[in-house]
Amino acid sequence: MKNDPKTMEEAYNPEESAKGKWTKFVETTLVDFFKEHGLEKLAAEDGNGNKVKLSRTKDDEIKVEQSSISIRY
């Protein structure tokens, strides 16, 4: 079936599984897109309440604010 869980984590802890997938997407695909296109600011939402804002700092670092978490790369 289409909505059957594929892993034990998806079956027993679907919220944490979805959050982990979102975080992985942000830390890889979205950060890479931000760098590749030389963006200054970017905001995204996954439709499930997970939000992220990326911005470039004065030191040319990328600041990632995910919900209430701030991460720098």
Digit-by-digit pLDDT tens for the chain (73 residues) are 556 767 777 777 777 777 788 889 999 999 999 999 999 999 999 877 789 999 999 999 999 998 855 455 5
44 touches 13 (CB < 8 A)? no
pTM for this predicted structure: 0.72
* CA distance linking residue 54 with residue 17, whole number of Å: 22
